[in-house]
Chain A
Amino acid sequence: MERRREALVGLVVLLGIAVGVVGTIWLQGGLRRDMVELRAATANVGQLVAGAAVRFRGVSVGRVDAVAVTPGGEAVMVHMSVRPELVLPADAAVLLAPESVFGDWQAEILSLTELDLPYFVDYPEDGVLPGAALPDFSRLTATADEIARNLTVISERFQIAFTEQTALQLRSAIENIGEVSDGLSEIIAQQAARFEDLSEGVNASAAELGAAARVARTSFERIDSIIGSAGAGEMLGDAGAVLSNLRSLTDELNSSLGDMRAAAQQADTTFARFDVLLAAAETGDGSVGKLLGDPTLAEGAIEAVQELRALLADIQENPRRYLSFSIF
């Protein structure tokens, strides 16, 4: 009985210890006796903790053993254990990144040429891989929050600026633009019609020019034939004489025109004076004016002329009454 009890207690104790030890090892990812140590230096590690998975091309190849700040404080050293058969790339680096959106991080071994990030820490110690950590979700969330706030500000400003009146004005502007575009369409249509007419006119002109050119060519051919004929020299001489006569005639006409211009000027002066006289006569100034304006003077003048006529008649009849010649 006593021995059985002892065996039972021993069994339970051993079983419990075995469960604890084996369970712990299994949950850690199994025994890692032949693992190779790997180190990487990064500026920060985000939320990476000991026990996180180490992956290479997506395959779990080890675990993170420890994370510690370097003695100088310039970087964080990540100690990892990886499988010994793992062949690393020549330019291997370690990128720390979230494994999911729930805070679990992983260390991924990759080639620098595959992912050329600018912020890999190159730690000056042999055997230490350059490392980098992607931004934490909290930073991304903060950035997204900032963007959202900016969008809110923009929308608020847009809401302030875009009132009902703005909408009406915008609508009116759109309608105006429609009208303007309609007008432009009409103008363009008219201009197109005019251009068509113009092009037709140009075509007609070109045809006429062609015909004129053909006529001119015929004329020039005829002229050439005439010039090339035997009586051409005589004709040219006659033409020269005619031109000379025309030149002299022109000179005479010029001089006649000069005389006529002077006569015209004199006539202008005369007419100007006559205008003055007429103006004076109309206003009643001067003898003529008074004569024209005052009937008494006209009648007096008539009477004077009649008396003068009578006097002249009397003189003719009786010259001695009025004239006497004496010598000495």
Chain B
Amino acid sequence: MLERVSGALALVGGRTITALQGMGQAWALLMASAASLRNADVWLPHLLPQMARIGVASVPIALFIATFTGIVMSLQASYTLTGTIPVYFVGTLVGKTMILELGPVLTALTLAGRVGANISAELGTMRVTEQVDALETLAYDPLAYLVVPRVLAAILMFPIVVLLAIALGIGSGWITALQLLDMSSPEFVKGLRLFFLPWDVWFAVIKSVSFGAVVTGVGCYFGLRTERGAEGVGRSATRTVVVASMLILCLDAFWAATLL
């Protein structure tokens, strides 16, 4: 009996220590990466390629998701807003939801799978194949070479991708309202402008910046901590997607509570 209790306590304690160690290592990685910003000659040449990989290459999937999100939002809004609620509130609902929530969050979740897993797998492979060690041996700063350009590229490109996704989501919702819901453009635009505030766009940008940092930071963290060969790489990629998605949703709630 005593052994079982002590075993359970050891399990909880071990998990707690592991989690705290992980948080501490993440914090240490963050601080080290911030310190690596000084080595601009190392990370700057890699910034643009990473922007292309993380940002430009992610635009199609982000727009695809935003398009169908806008269509579904418009249809569901018209399905919900019946009776006494005027139909132009479809525009309000589509616009507000796309700008404040679905545009940034769905894009970030999508990119957590695409970008985060990609980074984790790439760095994990480099770790298990000792390429990271080779960089250190060659006196390269691996963080400035691998982490900083990816995180900076995500911070810069995530808002761009999110803005495009928001625009296309609203546009697809608009077209859906015109073609399927028997609404007119003035009605949709009236609803779209009804409760619009410029701050909404800034809110979306701030969120997407934080989401970009989280997705790439988590990918780099788990990638650099990969062990045990290909299996470890797969595990790191999975963990990256899961943790990044959780952090995205937590941040989403945090920003909503603090900024709105």
List the interface of chain A (C-beta within 8 A of B). Answer: 5-6, 8-9, 12-13, 15-17, 19-20, 23-24, 27-29, 50-51, 100-102, 104
Known: A5-B52, A9-B51. 17 other contacts (CB 8 A): A9-B55, A12-B56, A12-B59, A15-B160, A16-B160, A16-B161, A16-B164, A20-B201, A27-B95, A27-B196, A28-B196, A50-B197, A51-B196, A100-B86, A102-B86, A102-B89, A104-B195
Structural contact, B194 and A104, CB atoms closer than 8 A: yes
Judge whether B135 is part of the interface by a CB distance below 8 angstroms. Answer: no
List the interface of chain B (C-beta within 8 A of A). Answer: 48-49, 51-52, 55-56, 59, 84-86, 89, 95, 156-157, 159-161, 163-164, 166-167, 170, 192-198, 201, 205
Structural contact, A16 and B52, CB atoms closer than 8 A: no
Say which residue of A12, A17, A28 sits within 8 Å of B198 (CB atoms): A28
User: From residue A20, how far is it (CB to closest CB) to chain B in Å?
Assistant: 4
Say which residue of A9, A15, A50 sits within 8 Å of B164 (CB atoms): A15
Structural contact, A19 and B56, CB atoms closer than 8 A: no
On whether A9 and B196 interact (CB within 8 A), knowing A19-B164, A20-B163, A20-B205, the answer reads no
Structural contact, A16 and B201, CB atoms closer than 8 A: no
On whether A12 and B55 interact (CB within 8 A), knowing A17-B160, A20-B205, A23-B201, the answer reads yes
Chain B residues with CB under 8 Å of A23's CB are 163, 166-167, 170, 201
User: From residue B87, how far is it (CB to closest CB) to chain A in Å?
Assistant: 12
Q: How far is the CA of A17 from the CA of B156 in the complex (A)?
A: 11
Q: How far is the CA of A23 from the CA of B157 in the complex (A)?
A: 18
Number of A-B contacts (CB under 8 A): 64
Chain B residues with CB under 8 Å of A13's CB are 51, 55, 156-157, 160
User: From residue B96, how far is it (CB to closest CB) to chain A in Å?
Assistant: 11
Interface on chain A toward B: helix, strand, loop, or mixed SS? helix
User: From residue B95, how far is it (CB to closest CB) to chain A in Å?
Assistant: 7
Interface on chain B toward A: helix, strand, loop, or mixed SS? helix
On whether A27 and B192 interact (CB within 8 A), knowing A6-B48, A16-B161, A17-B160, the answer reads yes
Q: How far is the CA of A102 from the CA of B157 in the complex (A)?
A: 37
Structural contact, A16 and B86, CB atoms closer than 8 A: no
Structural contact, A16 and B48, CB atoms closer than 8 A: no
Chain B residue, CB-CB nearest to A99: B194
Chain A residues with CB under 8 Å of B49's CB are 5
Chain A residues with CB under 8 Å of B56's CB are 8-9, 12
User: From residue B55, how far is it (CB to closest CB) to chain A in Å?
Assistant: 6
Q: How far is the CA of A12 from the CA of B57 in the complex (A)?
A: 10
Q: How far is the CA of A19 from the CA of B166 in the complex (A)?
A: 9
Structural contact, B201 and A51, CB atoms closer than 8 A: no
User: From residue B111, how far is it (CB to closest CB) to chain A in Å?
Assistant: 14
Chain A residues with CB under 8 Å of B89's CB are 102
Task: Give 26 pairs: A residue, B residue, CB < 8 Å, sorted on A.
Answer: A6-B48, A8-B56, A9-B52, A9-B56, A12-B55, A12-B56, A12-B59, A12-B160, A13-B55, A13-B156, A13-B157, A13-B160, A15-B164, A16-B163, A17-B163, A19-B167, A20-B205, A24-B198, A24-B201, A27-B193, A28-B193, A28-B196, A29-B193, A51-B197, A102-B89, A104-B195
Chain B residue, CB-CB nearest to A101: B84
Structural contact, A19 and B163, CB atoms closer than 8 A: yes
User: From residue B27, how far is it (CB to closest CB) to chain A in Å?
Assistant: 31
Q: How far is the CA of A19 from the CA of B167 in the complex (A)?
A: 7
Chain A residues with CB under 8 Å of B55's CB are 9, 12-13
Chain A residue, CB-CB nearest to B162: A16
Q: How far is the CA of A16 from the CA of B208 in the complex (A)?
A: 13
Q: How far is the CA of A85 from the CA of B130 in the complex (A)?
A: 72
Chain B residues with CB under 8 Å of A102's CB are 85-86, 89
Q: How far is the CA of A100 from the CA of B157 in the complex (A)?
A: 39
Q: How far is the CA of A229 from the CA of B56 in the complex (A)?
A: 152
Q: How far is the CA of A104 from the CA of B170 in the complex (A)?
A: 21
Chain A residues with CB under 8 Å of B51's CB are 9, 13
Q: How far is the CA of A51 from the CA of B198 in the complex (A)?
A: 9
Chain B residue, CB-CB nearest to A14: B160
Q: In the complex, which of the residues A6, A9, A15, A51 has the most CB atoms of chain B within 10 Å of its own CB atom?
A: A9
Chain A residues with CB under 8 Å of B95's CB are 27
Chain B residues with CB under 8 Å of A51's CB are 196-197
User: From residue B192, how far is it (CB to closest CB) to chain A in Å?
Assistant: 6
Chain A residues with CB under 8 Å of B86's CB are 100, 102
Chain A residues with CB under 8 Å of B160's CB are 12-13, 15-17
Structural contact, A5 and B193, CB atoms closer than 8 A: no
User: From residue B244, how far is it (CB to closest CB) to chain A in Å?
Assistant: 22
Structural contact, B198 and A16, CB atoms closer than 8 A: no
Q: How far is the CA of A101 from the CA of B52 in the complex (A)?
A: 48
Q: How far is the CA of A17 from the CA of B160 in the complex (A)?
A: 7
Chain B residue, CB-CB nearest to A13: B160
Closest 9 pairs (CB-CB, A-B) = A16-B160, A20-B163, A27-B196, A19-B167, A16-B163, A12-B56, A5-B52, A9-B51, A24-B201
